[in-house]
Amino acid sequence: MSHDTIETNQRTAAFADHDELWLFGYGSLIYKAGFDYSERRLATIEGWARRFWQGSHDHRGTPVAPGRVVTLVEAPGETCFGMAYRITPAHFEYLDHREKNGYLRFAQPMTLDNGQVEKGLVYIATPSNAAWLGEAPIDAIARQIVDTAGPSGPNRDYALDLADALREHGARDAHVFAVAERVRALIAAD
């Protein structure tokens, strides 16, 4: 699969017939939406875990030196915290471009902070995409994050902002916190 998934996502008919829908964000969407929305709520999804296993050739890195950003991987029994946004299908153009580096649209049930369960949209980069970097030791992930930057800024800002946003909302994420701790240590040592 190509790095650029815009056309693939544009062919996806899921939610096209909806006036409104919920979008689940689990990375930078937690702290930086970048679009207008009618409602925003804390939310969780079951059976998924956030991991720094996706390459970023377009936002937090370059084609020569990709950064690392989060995606979701299946993890039975786990709960992933995120932010849900009520949007319209008109947002797809912006979101498809923002998530173009390997992310595909999926329908996923999510639980809003009021206990309401909604089927919503989530962008997930799977191992079959060309930007997939996969699992690596925390030290290697952190070093790559510290050493890369792209048009959206240093990769380290993404990792640290995500960890800070999760903490601000009282969410736990051992993987993100371990990566952020190591990133901070590497920055201090450099």
Please identify every residue annotated as catalytic.
99
CA distance 160 to 170: 15
> Tokens representing 163?
């960890």
Contact present, 45 and 71 (Cβ < 8 Å) = no
Element (H, E) at 166: helix 155-168
Residue 54's nearest CA partner among 65, 68, 66, 64 is 68
Q: Are strands 117-125 and 149-150 parallel, antiparallel or unpaired?
A: unpaired
CA distance 22 to 88: 8
